[in-house]
Amino acid sequence: MHAFSFHNPCQIEFGAGQIAKLAQLIPAQARVLLLYGGGSIKHNGAYDQICSALKQHHWREFSGIEPNPEFETLMQAVQFARNEQLDYIVAVGGGSVIDGAKFVAAAVPHNGDCWLIIGNRTPLSTALPLAAVLTLPATGSESNFAAVISRRETNDKLSFKNPLVFPKLAILDPTLTYSLPARQVGNGIVDAFVHTTEQYLTYPNEARVQDRLAEGILQTLIEIGPITLAEPNNYDARANLMWAANQALYGMVGLGQPQDWASHAMGHELTILFGLDHARTLAIVLPALWRYRLQSKQAKLAQYGRRVWGLNGSDAQVANAAIDKTADFFQQMGLPTQLSAYSIDADEAANGVAAQLIRHQRLKLGEKQDLTPDDCRAILITAA
Ligand code: NZQ
Ligand code: ZN
């Protein structure tokens, strides 16, 4: 197990009706900016509950943050917050709104070019406080300090990380997810699954607690995935999905572990080039990546196959079967694992992603920092 440092300052309020706590948890003198997306919060009860919780506060709203939040839209929110002298952000939505809110929190007090915040190209000295009300369990953004922002004008989808943008508060109410379309539920399950494997499925590292945390999250997602899809109002299934997705990227799974974020690196390029939902890119990339890296990942794939899927046989047999099981599971969740399902030409995708990775200086990916853009091109060709 490698050395590590861990601190997560986010206060989590979990359960039905927890939005009401914002009334007390947000300082009375705060001037609140409510940020949300395309309007789903008006249909799942979140907006009404927020209005009620904030009735003693001064607050204004900014809506229209799109999936894969856009820099241009977010800069309008930054200008709005500056004009209105707002100083506390409440983000209500999925990963896109919460990521967008992290950017706004950092950008409002920032002097200088805010685009440089993305990619951590400029230091930050402060950020507005942020509360996240989660409506789509998937990214873990509600209690981590990462954000992914897109700029279609320049074909960039890039992240930034800074402890200053840790949400102070996260409200996790599973009933807010009842209104999710099946596509977004499936996306959330697969995104949480891949976050877990990217911090786990590398090589043996004697991190037994972290391994078993990962395996517990994966088993939970496999168990509750079909129920969550079949029974939208099943509180226990939604609650377990919400907590599993949170824990997948809360910070504990990957402590002291080698990590392999190559699927996300390739996935972000596929989203910006072809418009695929974030999780849908991962469902295509991950099985293909594992097949390509079978040798170097075999020991961990075999551990995963035995413990998570209950498979038997030699390491090689179990590793291969575990990849097949994973791909089947993604398909069962409604996410295709081939580019052809979206009528995307594999050569075009492979060359496009490789070129983007080079442009973004993502030249050495994977747990051993030895996966090159050429390897990524080869992986995507196998996902035809
Ligand atoms: O915009 P609204 O109307 O709210 O609709 C959203 C959106 O269209 C809808 N939705 C959300 N909650 C709903 C709902 N519809 C009905 N009922 C509800 N309760 O779902 C659609 C997708 O929302 P989005 O926020 O885009 O999805 P997700 O949570 O999957 O977030 C994806 C974004 O997060 C980034 C991704 O790259 C992508 O940009 N990620 C952020 C990470 C992080 N900060 O740690 C890590 C992830 O790996 C990921 O990269
Ligand atoms: Zn993800």
Give tens-digit pLDDT for 332-362: 999 999 999 999 999 999 999 999 999 999 9
Tokens of 33: 């900016």
Whole-angstrom Cα distance, residue 356 to residue 41? 34
Measured distance CA(87)–CA(85) in Å, rounded: 6
Q: How many CB atoms lie within 10 A of CB 204?
A: 11
Residues with CB under 6 A from ligand 1: 37-41, 44, 67-68, 93-97, 99, 135-136, 138-141, 144, 146-148, 176-177, 179-180, 184, 187, 191, 249, 264, 278
Instruction: Please say whether the beta carbons of 52 and 183 come within 8 A.
Output: no
Whole-number Å distance, alpha carbon 97 to ligand 1 midpoint, is: 7
Give the mean pLDDT of 24-49: 97
pLDDT bin (cut points 50, 70, 90) of residue 315 is very high
Nearest CA-CA partner of 283 in 378, 192, 374: 192
Q: Which residue ranges form the domains of the chain, and what is each CATH number?
A: 11-176 (3.40.50.1970), 182-382 (1.20.1090.10)
- Percent of the chain with pLDDT strictly greater than 90: 100
Coil vs helix vs strand at 342: helix
Confidence of residue 258 (pLDDT cuts 50, 70, 90): very high
Mean per-residue pLDDT of the chain: 98
**C-alpha distances in angstroms, 272 versus 70, 75, 266?**
11, 19, 10
- Please report, rounded to a whole number, the percentage of residues in the chain having pLDDT higher than 70: 100
| pLDDT range class, residue 27, cuts 50, 70, 90 | very high
Assign 44 a pLDDT band (cuts: 50, 70, 90). very high
pLDDT of residue 236: 98
